[in-house]
Amino acid sequence: MTSPDPDKTPSPDAGRRRFLQQSFAGTAAAAAGLTIASTSHAHAREVAEAAEPEVTNDVDVLVVGGGTAGHVAAIQAGRAGAKTMIIERNSQLGGTTTTGGVAFPGLFDAWGKQVIAGIGWELVRESVEMDQGTLPNFAKVPQRHWQNQVFTNQFLYAILAEEKCAEAGVEIAYYEFPQAVKKTDGGWEVDCVGFGTRRKVRCKQLIDCTGGAEVVGMAGFPRLREDERQPGSYLFMLGEEHEPGRNQIHRLYVHGADSTNSRTATEANLTGRKSILAKVRKEGKRLMHLQPETGFRESYRIEGETVVTVNDYTSGRVFEDAISYAFYPVDLHTRSGVKPKPLKPGTVPTIPLRALVPKGSRDLLVAGRCVSSDRLANSGLRVQASCMGMGQAAGVTAALAAKSGSTPREVPLAEIHALLKEHGQIVPGKA
């Protein structure tokens, strides 16, 4: 059953007020010589200064979350000439593809031809070629859908993504995340924190690529999630070497895995690693590889200007505002595993721009697994090539909106399609 966002997100201003109040309380205590009577004036000054950001950025496009969709969105916006910044709470780009260890992106092809290309494909292809790996032959329709997924070296992929961000002029801020977002006349003000860093980013367009639409929730727009979600998985290698870009990593389900907040994500990691330790003890084999965190299949989805239904997905509906193709079976994992439901021959689903726009929002887009869709449609839409396609479309749309001073839904679709094609993407509809 789908329920509205149970995470009672405080209003954007409430978070900021609390931050200021806490800082002020600290300053007042210091001034009164109460809790930190013996500390120096320097300490008191530091506490007072904690109320103000140390770093301020003015950008056209801010991408929050540098995962599968996010780094593609940022590279695209940068290549389109927008001043772009990316905020990522982890230590590298790629998200579930790299940090989660699911370096097996799919599907870029359908029924004998490529349907998703662009920046995501460029990165996958270059990683494989540099790694002397093997690319699938898209002219051949595989017996099983996963046979055309691409074994990719997760380490190379993450570094190449950084190089492409640098070439596109994208500024990267790791170890940071938004603490409050505020709508302004010209876009958004986003207060971020990291260790030793407080940053205010003023941007014209904001793209939420956090996987679970965290910024959308923070901004007060509706999100949906199921009472029971698909299990997460923890990836590792037991008893054999992990050869990046050559083999699938071992994985075990983490039932109940929940990426909602740091407490639930901690719980998922503890559960996953505990199960792996039990397996090591039971099988007496060497632990050869361990990813740093759980991969989450499902959490929040946005309620967008339109919702892609499983019927839209399985019938291959070509939306009037389609910006990207998607291709994968309906793929819902449960406690008893997964039985993928392949699409009928010739069917290629599309993703409408409106599914990337939180309902009632301006200057805000999402890309990735939080796309506005019902649960079954989402189980197919969430895969990496589709997330990359959405990321590129969001990057193009945000860059065009920032340039023309409009909001994503006001950007003419023909301009979005033209710029996507210029940057190597395949666009649904008549060629």
> Which residues would be at the binding site for ligand FAD (CB under 6 A)?
64-70, 87-90, 95-97, 100, 102, 104-106, 149, 177-178, 209-211, 214, 232-233, 251, 295-297, 368-369, 382-384, 387
Of 26 and 354, CB closest to ligand FAD: 354
| Three-state SS annotation for 186-201 | CEEEEEEEECCEEEEE
Minimum distance from CB of 301 to ligand FAD (Å)? 10
| Closer CB to ligand FAD, 257 or 399, in the complex | 257
Q: Which residues lie closer than 8 Å to 126 by C-beta, 6 or more apart?
A: 160
Which residues partner with 352 through β-bridges? 322
Q: What angle do helix axes 384-404 and 118-130 make, rounded to 10 degrees? A: 130
Task: Report the DSSP beta bridge partners of residue 3.
Answer: 225
Judged by beta carbon, residue 97 or residue 361, the one nearer ligand FAD is 97
Distance separating alpha carbons of residues 318 and 351, to the nearest angstrom: 8
Query: Residue 129 Cβ, how far from ligand FAD at the closest point, in Å?
Result: 19
Contact 217, 9 (CB under 8 A): yes
CB of 410 to ligand FAD, least distance (A): 25
Residue closer to ligand FAD, measured from CB, 30 or 257: 257
Q: Residue 338: is it exposed, middle or buried by C-beta count within 10 angstroms (0-12/13-18/19+)?
A: middle
Q: Cβ-closest residue to ligand FAD?
A: 67
Nearer to ligand FAD, 177 or 319 (CB): 177
- Residue among 164, 145, 261, 151 nearest 210 (CA): 261
30 vs 41: CA distance, rounded Å? 9
Strand, helix or coil at 113? strand
Nearer to ligand FAD, 106 or 245 (CB): 106
* Rounded Cα–Cα distance for residues 141 and 109 (Å): 9
- Smallest distance, Å, CB 173 to ligand FAD? 9
CB of 256 to ligand FAD, least distance (A): 14
Nearest-CA neighbor of 378 among 318, 317, 320, 333? Answer: 333
Q: Which is nearer to ligand FAD, 30 or 115 (CB)?
A: 115
C-alpha span between 211 and 217 (Å, rounded): 12
Tell me which DSSP letter residue 140 carries.
S
Rounded CA-CA distance 370/258 in Å is 14
Q: Tell me how far, at minimum, the Cβ of 187 lies from ligand FAD, in Å.
A: 18
Minimum CB separation of residue 416 from ligand FAD in Å reads 20
**Cβ atoms 420, 414 nearer than 8 A:** no
Of the pair 305, 331, the CB lying nearest ligand FAD is at 331
Min dist. Cβ of residue 182 to ligand FAD (A): 16
Nearer to ligand FAD, 30 or 87 (CB): 87
Residue with tokens 């980013």: 201
Report the nearest approach of ligand FAD to the CB of residue 212 (Å): 7
As a whole number of Å, the end-to-end CA separation of the chain is 40
